[in-house]
Structure 1
Amino acid sequence: MTTAAATAAHDGVTDAALSAVGLHRQYGRGTAAVQALRGVSVAFAPGTFTAVMGPSGSGKTTLLHCLAGMDRPTGGTVRWGRTEVSGLPERRLAELRRTRVGFVFQAFNLMPAMTVGQNVELPGRLAGRPPERAAVREALARVGLAGRERHRPGQLSGGQQQRVAIARALVSRPEVLFADEPTGALDRATGQEVLGLLRSGVDTDGRTCVMVTHDPVAAGYADRVLLLADGLLVDELTAPTAAQVAERLSRLGG
């Protein structure tokens, strides 16, 4: 997407679910400064699945964290819909994160002493708005874990634990779901099941999903792939095959 197109989306000319203009992120100062992002502009349409890829150190995880409000850009702006979030006070940003976006990570981040149901409820309880039990059961049923509310994470396989993490992310019905290497700790077959769940959320619920991955097969589930290198958005693929992603990524040294 050109900078002009991204800017248009960012300004509300189009109805982007998520957009960024001119994102910069610098870590450190002086001669030790590292430019993780160098002016990235991009927009994500509602109900689309985007994979973000690039070599190690390309800025893909930094981009995800800035888009998700987990890291503050040092320049540029981020909007969720038409709400600019990059300059919000931390408390207000935290409130919006709990209601408008969901997160799935490679490390499932489940509390081992809590039941599956309690883990799904946890973000809402921390926000003072615990979900109804029916909503928890529905979220678990959506990921194929109906009736597992009273199990502990240690009683589940890795793939099942990732399903719990997805249910936890979905229970608040977020507009945008961010996934950071969601299949990185899973075997191929289990990873494909998880990717199928993410894909279904886009196709069935109209959710917007943004996923960082290093795996061309995972990226093949996406509607488009953004390729980063040295903190810049350098290429974009639409409806790619895994082979096309792998070939293009190899040119970048990824």
Structure 2
Amino acid sequence: MTNFSAAEARPGLRVVPAVRLEDVTRSFGRGKSAVAALRGVSVEFPAGSFTAIMGPSGSGKSTLLQCAAGLDRPTSGRVLLGDTDLAGLNESRLTRLRRDRIGFVFQSFNLIPALTARQNITLPLRLAGRRVDRAWLEELVERTGLSGRVGHRPAEMSGGQQQRVAIARALVTKPDVVFGDEPTGALDISTGQEVLRLLREVVDGLGQTLVMVTHDPVAASYADRVLFLADGLIVEGMDRPTADAVASRLTGLGR
């Protein structure tokens, strides 16, 4: 078992894990038919870092993301959000933790069609019964380039604008970490790069922790560090990645 940390990716970054996985395994099925999606993964994601997770189809990327985000429970091992061990939480407390301390950005945006952009952004707060911090909301709207669009519904917005709404929604609760599952997968190249620049700014400008699963070497090049998975294990890490270096490494993993 190898321990990987993204701490070295940015000089001066404090080694304070926002999320930590300790010897995590996740198997599906029972007995001889059981399939191991993760096999003893240990990894830390320090606060304020941007990590991309890559690997061939079936390597365990989505399972790692789901376990780290509390969407799935490991078969064994521990997942900690800060100092909180997710294994010690019942479903109700785990739901509240995900709502209050974790942000999600998905490929499909997952916006509510009947709500305006502003209403979609503030939905997590309303579901939690929390007041909207107007100053923070306006800062998010400005940073995500949505000024003048907050009264529009999803059908009245481009794909890139919808993903910006989804990013603002993920940030509105000031979460400990944001998880992205192929956040640019449904966008064209130009729009995808705009969204990636926004995600980079979210890390650099707001100090947000971001963990992103992607299949795109260009998307991964925006991260501080890339972790490569194969057969349920993290087999390599790459600091300060370039798109060419990532693509070359992925080709090797696919053999």
Tell me if both proteins adopt one fold, taking TM over 0.5 as the criterion.
Answer: yes
How do 1:1-254 and structure 2 match up within 5 A? Answer: 2-3=2-3, 14-253=15-254
Gapped regions of structure 2 (runs ≥ 5) = 6-14
Mean Cα deviation higher: 153-162 or 20-29: 20-29
CA distance in 1, matches of 2:150, 2:224: 33
8 Å Cα contact 1:225/1:240 also seen in 2: yes
How far apart are residue 88 of structure 1 and its match? 1.1
Q: Give the deviation of 1:83 after TM superposition.
A: 1.6
Alpha carbons 1:122, 1:130 under 8 Å: kept: no
- What do the CA deviations read for 1:28-61 (whole angstroms, capped 9, x no partner)? 2123321111110001111111000000000001
- Moved beyond 4 Å, runs of 4+: none
- Whole-angstrom CA distance in 2 between matches of 1:110 and 1:235: 35
Q: Which residue of 2 aligns with 1:11?
A: none
| Residues in 2 aligned to 1:37 and 1:2: alpha-carbon distance in whole angstroms | 13
> Secondary structure, in 3 states, of the residue corresponding to 2:132?
coil
CA-CA distance at 1:2 after TM superposition? 3.5
Q: Offset of 1:98 from its aligned partner?
A: 1.7
Deviation at 1:141, TM superposition (A): 1.7
Return the alpha-carbon distance in structure 1 between the equivalents of residues 28 and 138 of structure 2: 42
Cα distance in 1 for partners of 2:205, 2:114 equals 33
1 CA distance for matches of 2:144 and 2:87? 32
Residue 133 of structure 1 and its aligned partner are, at CA, apart by 4.3
* Secondary structure of 1:221's aligned partner: coil
1:137 Cα offset (Å): 3.1
Residue 10 (structure 2) aligns with: none
- SS at 1:86's partner residue? helix
Question: Contact conserved, 2:23 with 2:78, CA < 8 A, in 1?
Answer: yes
Cα distance in structure 2, aligned partners of 1:201 and 1:213: 18
For the residue of structure 1 that corresponds to 2:187, the secondary structure is coil
Distance across 2 between alignment mates of 1:135 and 1:211: 24
SS at the partner of 1:120? Answer: helix
What is the SS of the residue equivalent to 1:17?
A: strand
Structure 1 alignment gaps of length 5 or more: 7-13
**Rounded Cα–Cα distance in structure 1 between residues aligned with 2:128 and 2:94:** 12
Give the Cα–Cα distance (whole angstroms) in 1 for the partners of residues 87 and 72 of structure 2. 9
Q: Give the Cα–Cα distance (whole angstroms) in 1 for the partners of residues 88 and 56 of structure 2.
A: 29
Q: Number of matched residues?
A: 247
Q: Distance in 2 between matches of 1:133 and 1:28?
A: 48
CA contact (8 A) 2:124 2:173 kept: no
Instruction: Note closer, same or farther for the CA distance 1:151–1:253 as it changes in structure 2 (3 Å cut).
Output: same
**Deviation of residue 139 (structure 1)?**
1.8
> For 1:90-141, what per-residue CA distance to the aligned partner results, in whole angstroms no more than 9, with x for missing partners?
1111212122111100010001111111111112212222424443333222
